[in-house]
Amino acid sequence: MGQLDFAKSTEGIPYVNITVVNSIFSNKTVNVTQIIFKTGNITNTIDGALTNPILLPNVYILNIGSNVILCPWNWALYYNQNLTITVQTAEGFSISQTLQIPKSTP
């Protein structure tokens, strides 16, 4: 997983941009099936119909290289808390990244 950007849409809806990387050394694409956000004892599975690009009703094909997935999620409720984001694929791969949501997030 690469860069994470916390932002709000022009309508004020909070979201997270997740840069997901399928290595240039990979010999195949993978299919992203699920994105999970965990803070403390709260786990949120992101609705794949609301992501951009959408993950549902099928999957999002992650081509070789970097790809950005926009996930609507109200990060403002979790200032200064640790956040673990996990991306899962149909092929059984999973990657997680943990960080603290800073108070200075826009």
* pLDDT digits 0-9 by tens, 76-88: 888 889 999 999 9
Percentage of residues in the chain having pLDDT higher than 70: 95
Residue 13: the pLDDT is: 83
Average pLDDT over residues 40-51: 93
Distance of CA 7 to the CA centre of its chain: 13
By C-alpha distance, which of 50, 6, 48 is closest to 31?
Answer: 48
State residue 92 phi and psi, 5-degree precision: 95, 0
Non-local (6+) Cβ contacts of 51 within 8 A are 35, 60, 69, 70, 71, 72
Residues 72, 69: Cα–Cα separation, whole Å: 10
Full set of structural domains in the chain with CATH: 4-100 (2.60.40)
